[in-house]
Amino acid sequence: MRSTRLAALLLALALGPVAPATAELYRWTDAQGQMHVTMHLDQVPPRYRPAAMQAAQQDKAAPSLLQSYATPDDGAPRARRKPNAVATEEPAARVYHVRVARAPIGMIVQVRLNDRVTAPFLIDTGATDVLLPKQVAAELGLDVGPDTRTMQYQTANGVVEHPVLMLDSVEVGGARVEQVPASVGSMELGLLGLSFFNHFTYRVDAAAGIVTLSPNGLAAAGLIRGGRSAAQWRSQFENLRVRLAQAGGGRDAEALRHQLELLEDEADEADVPSTWRD
């Protein structure tokens, strides 16, 4: 029963199923200012499909801004790999081949957090951020209090609001990213989301159980700040401003103004330009 509940919870928090072939990312912002991302056009509400298709075409025109998610099956023989992750040098960048464990709920990989704690995470490239289970956050000594920023996330079961923290580092099979935004939830298994994968061009070979990660250089080029793209930062600011305008006055408005201040502080620390906050 516990495994059944866990599987249902993980599926509810995922934004979409694993794509069987190279997939486009369709993103749109709803009337409440909430940004959504999916790999499946039929999951986009009809009224937002033109904008989502246009965004996907723009990303395709600038491939360096879009990650690839693929399950290659060209029939060619695959080289045998060691059980543990290995790194090989290629002309463009270092490439990491990370072995994953396949489970009925998806693909699970061991993740090293803050150079202190290693825990299993479900690969979910539809999740905006890395999602930490509460027990992992506690093991890392991360405190969640009244001054912790929160963020709304769109899930299959609707919108949820989670505390957001900054991880010093996230490492998977030698592929390492520093200053990674992460939310904290009540799940028993974490999600490895886009705040990590935004830094890589990635491919998933489901048959071989291998995830290939190649640094894309977007952070070094200033196109990723604090683990997020310009569109993701704008969406967060827009979401809070829309909610604040709808709140009117009272405690709700005061709390949202405080959240906006916390987001501004986080953006300042990540050197996010003003044009990404409009």
| Domains in the chain: boundaries | 2-65, 86-219, 232-276
Cα–Cα distance between 209 and 100 in angstroms, integer? Answer: 5
Cα–Cα distance between 162 and 131 in angstroms, integer? Answer: 9
Residue 6's pLDDT is 43
Q: What amino acid is encoded at 106 in this protein?
A: G
| Distance, first Cα to last Cα, the chain | 47
Residue 103's pLDDT is 74
CA-nearest of 272, 229, 277, 264 to 27 is 229
Cα–Cα distance between 29 and 38 in angstroms, integer? Answer: 12
Taking a C-beta distance cutoff of 8 angstroms, is the pair 44, 38 a contact?
A: yes
Residue 27's pLDDT is 62
Residue 68's pLDDT is 34
Taking a C-beta distance cutoff of 8 angstroms, is the pair 109, 101 a contact?
A: yes
Cα–Cα distance between 191 and 18 in angstroms, integer? Answer: 14
Q: For residue 206, count other CB atoms closer than 10 A to its CB.
A: 16
Taking a C-beta distance cutoff of 8 angstroms, is the pair 125, 114 a contact?
A: no
Residue 90's pLDDT is 37
**Domain 86-219 sits in which CATH superfamily?**
Acid Proteases (2.40.70.10)
**Three-point CA angle 125, 229, 138, nearest 5°:** 60
Cα–Cα distance between 240 and 151 in angstroms, integer? Answer: 9
How confident is the chain (278 residues) per 10-residue block, as mean pLDDT? 42 34 52 55 79 68 35 36 39 79 83 95 89 94 87 77 93 95 89 93 85 92 92 92 88 91 93 94
Residue 37's pLDDT is 52
